[in-house]
Structure 1
Amino acid sequence: MTSAADGAAAGDRAPWELGPDWVVGDDGVPFRRGARVILLDEADRVLLARGHDVDRPERTWWFTVGGGIDAGESAREAAARELLEETGLVVDPASLVGPVLRRRAVFDFWRRTVRQDEEFFLARVERPAAVHHAGWTDVERAFMDEVRWWTLDDLADVREEVFPAGLVGVVRDLLDGWDGVVRRLPDGH
């Protein structure tokens, strides 16, 4: 969901302009809080989205579903909302486990360096409905290419980048359930 700010609706912005959930940090870098979902199915496959760099479309990567936290929204609520918007899959925010992982990511997004502090929640679905992207925003349609389920073995062998780095190991540790430890990945992309 994209909210309006400063009297300008999201539709009034060019796609490469960051939304109202981004603020400029003390270091001059746009910053936001984010919530993501590590979603597993009954076969222990993980759901990831593939995106590409708008300046270099040949550069693609896989990443967990999620995004920014809207004003007045908890990280848990944002994670469930983003999952619905980006995949059409519904999970009750109360059923999300965690946060199981936190990281600070610095990456290029819409031709600029940005920073996002992310909380990752774990969820499982049995026999998930077909994934669709009817809820993608204009920004998501501009850089996201597909959403698909991955076995961990296949994901470990993928040639494209996977974010966050180390995701396969984290997911393997969570297959039997969360142990209550919030994992922390090194800062980075």
Structure 2
Amino acid sequence: MTDSRLPPPGTVVRRTTARVLPVRPDGKVLLLHGWDPLKPGTPYWFTIGGGVEAGETVVQAGLRELREEVGILLPSDALGEPVATNTIEFEWGGCPIIQQQTFFAVGVDTVEVSFANQEELELQTISDHGWWHPDELEATGQAAHVTIPGLLRVAVEAINLRQAS
């Protein structure tokens, strides 16, 4: 598969992303199931989010990505303060990626997930969504990055603290 949005293989991509972790009252967090376009036989679970576009804040990017990737619409103040930040390095589409990530947690009740607003490349590389307890995800070994189960724990704790205050 080739896509005009993918840089030439080997290009080092540096990007800033906003990631959103929707948390249900039962402590499960919404993740997406997909794969690298060059490795469709090795799927994994990953967080909702994407690149911050020119002129956009990380909060605006997080809200936009939540709407585009899973069809969840939230008011501009719903994300609150970030619950975590990190930088990870990985390869995707044949390109090394250095990604600065800002994570937001948002409490949700019942949501209907929709892939209707996804871009073509997302539609080709995302197959499903699922709600995960951090320990269950960690036990599968299928998280896209080793940091994800811990980030889910941080998100669940942040939502529990918000609801308690």
Establish whether residue 168 from structure 1 lines up as the match of residue 149 from structure 2: yes
4+ long deviations beyond 6 Å = none
The change in CA–CA distance for 1:56 and 1:173 in structure 2 (over 3 A counts) is closer
- Give the structure 1 partner of residue 117 of structure 2: 135
- Give the structure 2 partner of residue 146 of structure 1: 128
Deviation, structure 1 residue 97: 2.8
- Give the structure 1 partner of residue 5 of structure 2: 17
Return the structure number with greater relative CO, CA threshold 8 A, min gap 6.
Answer: 2
Establish whether residue 121 from structure 1 lines up as the match of residue 87 from structure 2: no
Higher-helix-fraction structure: 2
State the aligned residue count: 156
Spell out the pairing of 1:66-77 with structure 2 (5 A cutoff).
66-77=49-60
- Give the structure 2 partner of residue 39 of structure 1: 22
- Give the structure 2 partner of residue 79 of structure 1: 62
- The whole-number CA distance in structure 2 between the counterparts of 1:103 and 1:112 is 19
- Give the structure 2 partner of residue 63 of structure 1: 46
Query: Cα RMSD over matched residues?
Result: 2.1
Bigger Rg over Cα: 1
- Confirm or deny: 8 A CA contact 1:16 1:139 kept in the other structure: no
- The whole-number CA distance in structure 1 between the counterparts of 2:44 and 2:4 is 19
What TM-score results when the alignment is normalised by the length of structure 2?
A: 0.84
SS at match of 1:171: helix
SS at match of 2:25: coil
Seq. identity, % = 29
The change in CA–CA distance for 1:32 and 1:170 in structure 2 (over 3 A counts) is closer
SS at match of 1:33: strand
- Confirm or deny: 8 A CA contact 1:38 1:65 kept in the other structure: yes
Deviation, structure 1 residue 148: 1.6
Unaligned runs of 5+ in 2: none
